[in-house]
Structure 1
Amino acid sequence: MSSDERSKHQEEASKRMDTAQYNICFNSSTERPFTGAYWNHKGNGHYDCAVCGERLFDSQVKFDSGTGWPSFWDAEGNIAKVVDKTLGMTRTEVKCGKCGCHLGHVFEDGPQPTGFRYCINSASLDFKERKQ
């Protein structure tokens, strides 16, 4: 994505997001565990990027990891993975592959069949109910 496209997403998002949500999506901040809208959400549908609307995760791969953040064992959409060496450790950050929105991190301690745990900020997501 070009810097112009990212600037456009940031400008548009700044008009509709509160400061905390904007900082999570564009400054790689993190919401406190057990506080986000989707950590214990049980809806049937899909989770999209809160910035650009890209479909990212299906509710059928969501699981309770006990961490206080929405967790998924597989990604459905365009996810970019980036090495993150902040906080004195090496982790894999996940971002929306379309707009670059910070989503959270992925770890290799999740359930089978993938073994992944995508640990995602609720603030980075919008939920869309599945149409019957």
Structure 2
Amino acid sequence: MKTKYAYLALMSLLFLTACGQKKNQTVKAANAANVISKPENPYYSNTDTTKLNLSDAEWKKILPEDVYEVSRHADTERPFTGKYWNTNDKGTYYCAACGNKLFRSTAKFSSECGWPSFFEQDNKNSVVYKNDNSLGMERIEALCGRCGGHLGHLFDDGPEPTGKRYCMNSVVLDFIPDSK
């Protein structure tokens, strides 16, 4: 299995060397309830699950460039460069574009592929899917269930109990650690 991940990482490097990763905008905890606040993005909420349908121009105005390129144009950060690919902190991962709750750290695992990997989503509506036949491959694209933003891809080579690997881009994830 490690060979498969090494192959994926190598292929990703070949295809994505032009894709850089910039520093993501700072996320601030608004209160003790760990509510994220992004005043520059009026659509960001980690409690509202209302579907968003914004124009590309509107997304471009409110998202940092790196988040915009990955979320709205299915760009990909280089493997082993994202801030969450090799972390074990306990907490919750949210969509960096809209604040939708996506994954719990208890579903995160070390896949050695260079991107954060999870074996299950937070709930059945948090992530949605579509077929992706780009780059000469057949894959399943994982999208935010609230804003439709590109998160990464879903593969069938993950651990039990699901056998799934949600291979996500760190730049489109916000993380709130569990309260101590």
> Same fold, TM exceeding 0.5?
yes
Q: Which residue of 1 aligns with 2:105?
A: 59
Q: Distance in 1 between matches of 2:101 and 2:60?
A: 17
2:170 aligned with 1:130 = no
Q: Deviations over 1:52-103 (max 9, x none)?
A: 1111000011011000100000100411110001011110000001001100
2:70, 2:76 within 8 Å by CA — same for their partners in 1? yes
Instruction: Write 1 or 2 for the structure with the bigger share of strand.
Output: 1
> Normalised by the size of structure 2, how large is the TM-score?
0.67
Q: Which has the higher contact order (CA 8 A, sep 6+)?
A: 1
Q: Aligned partners of 2:107, 2:139: CA distance in 1, in Å?
A: 22
Matched with 1:70 is 116
Partner of 1:98, secondary structure, is coil
- Aligned Cα root-mean-square deviation (Å): 1.7
- 1:1-132 matches, within 5 Å, as 5-7=53-55, 11=58, 14-17=61-64, 19-77=65-123, 78-132=126-180
Q: Which runs of 5+ in 1 are unaligned?
A: none
Number of residue pairs aligned between Structure 1 and Structure 2: 128
Max Rg structure: 2
Q: Identical aligned pairs, as a percentage? A: 46
Equivalent position amino acid for 1:95 in 2: L
1:130 Cα offset (Å):
1.0
Deviation at 1:43, TM superposition (A): 1.1
Q: Which runs of 4+ in 1 moved over 3 A?
A: 12-16
> If the length of structure 1 is used for normalisation, what is the TM-score?
0.90
